[in-house]
Chain A
């Protein structure tokens, strides 16, 4: 059969075009709220049901659309926002492409009702999956209301590819947060299944909004930023480096009132924090750039999340220098310039990082910093490959493989594989029958390097000679047969405890403690909603929670297994995990998380002095840290140095 070329029917064209703009419910929310903003609305109310799959409703009090214009509103490339191509370079509105409504209407049951102030009644237009109906007069308030139902009803493939309602909801929530931060002075409300998630009143300032969306910890740590350079202006707030996050999600950047993503500018922020936070952790920042409209091209991508700048270097240096100067001026710098104390307090790594920053500032002021191969503050990126000695090939070719780790990647977490440790690597008392019964659904890779029998002897054999010292109450320096290694004592202990807890919990059910008096736990509205959505999974785990207002849940029962964690810590930990991954965790995953948290809490901390016996007992189980993919802070746990490398460094070879 020969295929003939033919023009596609307009409905199909619409569905294809929709793919670019309407990626998921959150993109619809974004487009529609931006329209409302462009229409001069003072108050915008967004309601979604079932993560936006079933319903997205937006009600604004903006200027409205004249009833005659309604059919045009849902036609492609029809817009009131620009008139000609020249306007593209002077864009002051959020949208301009004239695609959004047409695209959305093409793939949903769409209802648009609007009434401009000078029109006595409202008018309504319905579009059923691309079929445009007539304009009908009706009663209604001034402003525009849009309802989007049955998203992708006519494109089952796309509908199937929508993620769980939690995931879609967290995308919508994120969209609203971005819009709210970008546009202060507007009353914005988001509700889901009749529950109000966020309500940002028009008079709430930036810090208030950050408190609302991200909680007190961040809101209380904010440092205001203000910088200017030849027509470019940077304002906003950044968090004290002590408050940081494991992802870059909390770096918000807005250009001319529009949320954007820009790798180079994000890097400028990270650069400004360099030395102040650990590698694998990222700053929290809310930055607002004002750039003359003719120096930025926002018409690069349909969702306008990426933009092109005329002079990106100037923006980079504006961000870097403004934040850095602010840090140097603030109380922070006074604290950093104190001489390093001999006994490091709780977070000695942070102290190290501060010291290093201090040095950097002393040396280099504002210029980009050369990377020093410091072992302490950024072990991961900073180490020259030559230092990571025990690469597999080298190990396997080593003449005396007695205590060589059998793990594929002896450098542990550098590339954080998600492979669990082969069971043979566990010491016998841990890998007994109880851990075989698969309470944890971990696949057991069979293709790993075959475990060396001597490794077990290493773990338990009393003959083994342990030569180790503790330095700065935080790290253990251990002599090994092939050279030496540096171990993060906390990470090692945490890992050991995790294995112990896991073995103990495996094979026995979870005990649940009922509470006489339910305990209220404060959360953010989104966390509250996410937890309540997961109520059944959590109940399976012994965690009984009830609704108690928008920002609070009541805990009725909890797993007796809390360790040194408080109930609030556990609930918040689970909630923020739900928030970050957006996926439904299984019972085993939550349990595993719980055990990790318990292990982390119970483990010795950096800064805890250890006795010789404690060091010895820790070091005897050191093989466990080779599989450190779970180190929750994304840091390496072990650094290895072979004799060969030491000799090379000392130029004996």
Chain B
């Protein structure tokens, strides 16, 4: 194998792939990536931790001799970062790989490319299609709401469901729940069932999506899913387990509807969070005609009161929230947007809704004083 590559192009492919490569592994070869060169000008970079895998297509390469090599991620990335050259040469040698530039030469001892586990490729089966921008928005607005670890329910995952013309991502850690729909062109019948995607795979997808207009196609199988953009295929195993019945968490009745401008609201919530701590986490939100007042109090820390004008003219209501739960969601919304808070009362779940059908459900805190 022998080829000449564009250094920065190779580096950015390595940077994406490093999101898959495990920090430590009983199989050392997984700490490497595999490069498969095919004439005249292409190479595919493969990386996997056996749960998630990526195939990254590189073009504009001068392939003199086809073949495969395996490169350790850490060292190779450092080399690519440090070299000043625009182009570098790669050559397979006896038990190693040679990286050459104008005035540098690195011989890396590497493993046998045959040993590298395969990363599944998208087959010829029909795939659903959506826009990168849509998918990106769905991931950003839901994946943060996943639980950090698994309980009996598979909460460390994002649920995928389909309805007519749309698909939805749903995530919850049982204190809050995020639902985001997006437009999709379904291949064939509207799929029935539900699929649980690991957040790590979704995070990886966000790293390869750049142009929001770009098309993303994807297939969901029984225990795996594949996503493809122009040059990248991401493979992931699905999370096994049961996702709780989330449809019941939104109270059917709405007694309060409060419009909130995202930017200013985000600001006052952040302020009110300052004087809270683990033992006194709650901030009291008092929504009244024309004004929102936030109060926090933590012993040994102090107390705060923050106000914000409000375009609201209904009855007053006071609710206590863990401000961090609101901040997590407000952070991923457009500051110029206006959202609507819907409440049945101050004990049941509150729902924040955007115009594009994003729903963020938060369970209030109850304080026994």
Contacts and interface: CB of A to CB of B under 8 A. Distances in A.
Report if A and B associate in a common complex: yes
B366 A557 contact: yes
Given A504-B300, A516-B361, A568-B151, A509 B249 contact: no
Contacts of A501: 279
Contacts of A514: 347, 349, 363-366
A501 B298 CA distance: 12
A561 B367 contact: no
Interface string B192-223: 00000000000000000000000000000000
Interface string B1-30: 000000000000000000000000000000
A211 interface: no
Interface in A536-555: 542, 552
B282 A511 contact: yes
Nearest to A503: B300
B152 A519 contact: yes
B342 interface: no
B364 A566 contact: no
Contacts of B366: 511-512, 514, 542, 557
Which bracket fits the contact residues of A? 20 to 34
Interface string B269-297: 00000000111111000000000000001
A291 interface: no
A548 B293 CA distance: 40
A369 to B, nearest CB: 38
A515 interface: yes
Contacts of B189: none
A429 B364 CA distance: 32
A203 to B, nearest CB: 28
Interface in A509-529: 509-522
B196 to A, nearest CB: 14
Contacts of A513: 175, 322, 363, 365
A511 B280 contact: yes
B226 to A, nearest CB: 29
A508 B280 CA distance: 8
A516 B351 CA distance: 12
A522 B152 contact: yes
B106 interface: no
B367 A511 contact: yes
B130 interface: no
Interface residues of B, number: 36
A311 B322 CA distance: 67
Interface string B147-188: 001011101000000000000000010111100000000000
Interface string B240-257: 000011100100000000
A139 interface: no
A566 B156 CA distance: 14
B328 to A, nearest CB: 15
Nearest to B349: A516
A520 B282 contact: no
Contact of B153 (A504, A511, A519): A519
B149 to A, nearest CB: 7
Contacts of A508: 279-280, 297-299, 369
B303 to A, nearest CB: 11
B368 interface: yes
A511 B149 contact: no
A519 B282 contact: no
A474 B279 CA distance: 28
A649 B152 CA distance: 57
A302 interface: no
Contacts of A557: 366
Interface string B351-369: 0000000000101111111
Q: Which interface residue of A512, A516, A542 has the most chain B CB atoms within 10 A?
A: A516
Given A504-B279, A516-B176, A510 B300 contact: no
Q: Which interface residue of A434, A519, A522, A567 has the most chain B CB atoms within 10 A?
A: A519
A19 interface: no
A517 B369 CA distance: 25
B175 A515 contact: yes
A73 to B, nearest CB: 49
A543 B271 CA distance: 30
Interface string B40-52: 0000000000000
Contact of A563 (B153, B177, B278, B349): B278
Contacts of A120: none
B192 to A, nearest CB: 22
A511 B151 contact: no
B151 A519 contact: yes
A599 to B, nearest CB: 12
B249 A504 contact: no
A533 B151 CA distance: 24
A395 interface: no
B152 A561 contact: no
A560 interface: yes
A420 interface: no
Q: Which interface residue of A429, A512, A567 has the most chain B CB atoms within 10 A?
A: A512
A508 to B, nearest CB: 5
Interface in B323-369: 347, 349, 361, 363-369
Nearest first, the 10 A-B pairs at minimum CB distance are: A517-B244, A509-B369, A512-B366, A514-B363, A516-B249, A509-B368, A520-B152, A504-B279, A517-B174, A515-B174
9 contacts: A504-B299, A511-B281, A511-B367, A513-B365, A516-B176, A517-B172, A517-B177, A566-B149, A567-B151
Given A513-B175, A517-B153, A517-B249, 20 more contacts: A434-B299, A503-B300, A508-B369, A511-B281, A511-B365, A511-B366, A512-B366, A513-B363, A513-B365, A514-B363, A516-B174, A516-B177, A516-B349, A517-B244, A517-B245, A518-B174, A520-B151, A552-B152, A560-B282, A567-B151
Interface of B: 149, 151-153, 155, 172, 174-177, 244-246, 249, 277-282, 297-300, 320, 322, 347, 349, 361, 363-369
